[in-house]
Structure 1
Amino acid sequence: MASNTPTMPSLPSGVGICVTVPDFLFLPELVFGGLVWILVACTLVAPQNPQGWVMFVSVFCFLMTFIWMLVFACGGHQNHSSWAAADFLFHGVAAFFYLSASVSLAKVTLDLEDGTFRSYQLDIAAVVFSYVATLLYFIHSILSAIRWKTF
């Protein structure tokens, strides 16, 4: 006998975060965010202000994404729309932060004149990975908004 009552969608926990949309994006966000962090740390830090912002964004987003992933994996969240809204909000803010960091990193890389060729290559790789991380966070925020609206 089929029930006509609608079922409430649930937020994944445990291994389920590796196979559900948008939570499977946690690992690529961590990988590309970590690569930005490592590559910017390996390059010449001049000028300090834009590079400092890039480091802050990459470290902050890496740590918060890792903590957020652990909360979801351990089931520390409840199946409420507030968690889905918080997921959307976090990834939206992270996408905005990464976009601002990517633009400033690209500007610093374009203005790099007296750096070595190796440093220039590391900066270009950091810019590319930063834009990939921006795209991943943006996609995650859009998919989280869609999930939030289904609650």
Structure 2
Amino acid sequence: MQIYLAGPDVFQPDALQRAESARRLVSRYGHRALIPLDNEASTAAEIYRANLAQIAAADLVIANLNPFRGFEPDSGTVFEVGYAVAAGKPVIAYVDDDRPLADRLAGHLGCDLLHVGERLVDSEGMSVENHGLPLNLMLGIPLRIVRGGLEQALQALAAD
């Protein structure tokens, strides 16, 4: 299989080394990694088109949906996941913490969430999803989410 690796890893200072390590790991499982850094695009529009082309060529997407620069996953990665789902591609996502979103949010805010009628709300009165999923339901429903990293996602793929 050709597997597109989505995630904010491309922003890390050691992105090239991470990409090579991921490529070797995917190869050990008998697949070929498609990594955004593989293309030679340099402008924003070129990078966008090249990434979409890689997703189109992939049989599957594995996505790092760990929080990035905040509490939520990287927005570009989330877009790529949505694009893959819309194209009918299976997506396996991995997270370090797979506790329900409401539990993680309460810990992140350092406070208890409040029950207001049937709703669960944060300290600002904003509703909090409480479906027992580790991510927003728009990710939690269509994706296979595993706890761990790329290797755990590859193990889940092998188990299927």
Greater RCO, 1 or 2 (C-alpha within 8 Å, sep 6+): 1
| Higher normalized helix content (fraction of residues) | 1
Tell which structure's C-alpha radius of gyration is larger.
1
TM-score with structure 1 setting the length: 0.31
